[in-house]
Amino acid sequence: MVITHRAEALAVLADTRYIPPPVRQDAPEGTLAWLRSHASRFSTGEVHARRRRLLEESLDALDPDALRDAARKLTLERDGRWEGVPVTVLGHALGVRDTGRLVEAVRAAAPGYLSGEETPEADAAVRDLLTLAADAGLVRSSVALITLLLQAHDATEGLVRNALRQAGPGDAVARLLERTLRLDPPLKVTRRMDRETGAEVRIDLGQVNRDAGAHLTFGAGVRPCPARRHAMALAEGVVAGVLGR
């Protein structure tokens, strides 16, 4: 079933009967499939709540304003070559020393994080990310922070790319990003599964967001995005740097 209206999407997102499609749980430690099986994004119930709390604790230690300023500064220093800036800034804020290596590993692992496609290259990248997290003293929260970095690459860079494509003269950065989140979100479809029937439900965010009311790009209901403020701060900083604002 495909949902294209906001009211129906809100009902699904608020109902605990609808869960993320399950991921396999038997993968060897340190692989992409293992990472997915330990991520809050793909878990449910108390396991999801516990993993989400750990992620939120890490996010609470990060200042969105500082992320915004750092993203703008680095984008300007790179003369507008902004790719990799969100991951670099976030990684630095988390204490990762080798951010160049971090960006390479995130780029290699990110394509399969949402799709579930497993490759030797993605598995090697996950092992590298775990090493970088351990070197930064982030062992307890390593999975949570790696998934946060993967989102910074995939969703946040996608938002920046879409926003810059439609930027016009004099566009205010915040307004440009909000318009992009509504009309051209980086993630076009979000999926849930009916735990009782096993049926998949696909929420078409591009269509749902055209209805009146706040856009649903950052989710809603029982599983809203925990890093909304941080993602927006990074995107605002990068876009401001590219546009010279």
**% pLDDT > 70, the chain:** 100
E strand map for the chain: 2-3, 18-19, 189-194, 200-204
Q: What is the pTM of this model?
A: 0.94
pLDDT tens by residue, 186-240: 999 999 999 999 999 999 999 999 999 999 999 999 999 999 999 999 999 999 9
Percent of the chain residues past pLDDT 90, beyond the cut: 94
Whether 9 is covered by a domain: the verdict is no
Question: Within a domain: residue 125?
Answer: yes
User: What pLDDT, in 10s, does the model give residues 50-60?
Assistant: 999 999 999 99
> Predicted confidence band at 79 (pLDDT cuts at 50, 70, 90)?
very high
CA dihedral 30, 91, 132, 57 (to 10 degrees): -60
Contact 34, 120 (CB under 8 A): no
Angstrom distances, CA of residue 76 to CA of 15, 35, 80, 81, 235: 44, 34, 6, 8, 14
Does some domain include residue 39?
A: yes
Say if 56 falls within a structural domain.
yes
Residue 199 falls inside a structural domain:
no
| The total number of structural domains that make up the chain | 1
**C-alpha angle 42/35/38, rounded to 5°?**
50
Answer yes or no: is pLDDT of 241 > 90: yes
139 has pLDDT over 90: no
| Model confidence band, residue 184 (pLDDT cutoffs 50, 70, 90) | very high
Domain around 81: 25-179+226-243
Distance in angstroms (rounded) separating the CA atoms of residues 66 and 151:
19
pLDDT at 69 over 90: yes
DSSP class of residue 21 equals: P
With respect to residue 198, please indicate whether it lies within any of the assigned structural domains.
no
The answer to whether residue 236 sits within a structural domain is yes
| Residue 154 DSSP one-character state | I
- Domain contains 205: no
Which residues are CB-contacts of 184 (< 8 A; sequence separation ≥ 6)?
Answer: 162, 165, 166, 206
